[in-house]
Amino acid sequence: MSGVVALVGGGEWREGCTFDEGLLKSSGADEVLVLPTAAAYEHPERAVETAVAYFSALGVKARGLSVLTRPDADVREHALAVREARFLYLGGGSPLHLRSVLKETLVWEAILLAWQEGATVAASSAAAMVLTDPMVDPRGGAFTLGLGLIEQLAVIPHFDSWSHDKLHRTLTIAAAGLPVVGIPEQTALIREADGSWRSEGVGDVAVFCDATPADFTRLPG
């Protein structure tokens, strides 16, 4: 049985992310391994510092793993650290950079193996987009290839601030039967180990499937 996956809409490691306590408890982890990969060009050390302080307040240690470039993702020591982790957290930033760094690397293989053997994987903002396949392209709302930890699901993070025009485009071109999920900040869509889904946090998750033009008139503008 695979582990838990939490797809977070952004605003990670802040007050309001009430789901993190439950994720920690169910994972049994005494340390959170943070991958600031998506923030490689946005002071990744600051993201790690924020995570360390946040999880310390929850009573557990956190540490960063410096996987910022594609060569970093093929370092065996990095892959081993991921493989041994019980709680992995991928932070936000650039989804396209994150995908290019992790795709077909030792670290990505280690993430998959760790999750398949029961580790909890949390991914926020850009990372939540990338873990699914297809992936919503943040530049215009079309679809592109994601990494596919979760298949046949597309995620729109920061849904509370996503433009109506991009959402309209995304839903218009979505394949038949594809769920498109809008997740606000400090909100998580959680896939439990048994395959069931739930949401938790400060906002409401919106799920669209086979949306029709009539549905668009009721979308948040």
Q: What is the pLDDT of residues 125-159, one digit of tens each?
A: 999 999 999 999 988 889 999 999 999 999 999 99
Residues 212 and 158: their CA atoms lie apart, in Å, by 23
Residue 167 lies in a domain: yes
Question: Could you give the angle at the alpha carbon of 191 between the alpha carbons of 187 and 174, nearest 5°?
Answer: 80
Who's near 100: CB < 8 A, 6+ residues apart?
Answer: 70
What is the predicted pLDDT for the residue at 221? 40
Range of the domain at 205: 5-216
Query: Does pTM top 0.75 for this prediction?
Result: yes
What is the predicted pLDDT for the residue at 212? 61
Residues 49 and 45: their CA atoms lie apart, in Å, by 6
Who's near 179: CB < 8 A, 6+ residues apart?
Answer: 152, 153, 154, 207, 208, 209
Q: What is the DSSP letter of 141?
A: S
Phi, psi of 167 (to 5 degrees): -65, -45
The string of pLDDT tens digits covering residues 162-215 is 888 888 899 999 999 999 999 999 999 999 999 999 999 999 999 999 876 555
* Mean pLDDT over each residue of the chain, to the nearest integer: 94
Residue 19 lies in a domain: yes
Count of domains for the chain: 1
Measured CA to CA in angstroms, residue 158 lies from 28, 78, 92, 192 at distances of 29, 29, 11, 22
Residue 27 lies in a domain: yes
What is the predicted pLDDT for the residue at 216? 52
Give me the CATH number covering residue 108: 3.40.50.880
Residue 221 lies in a domain: no
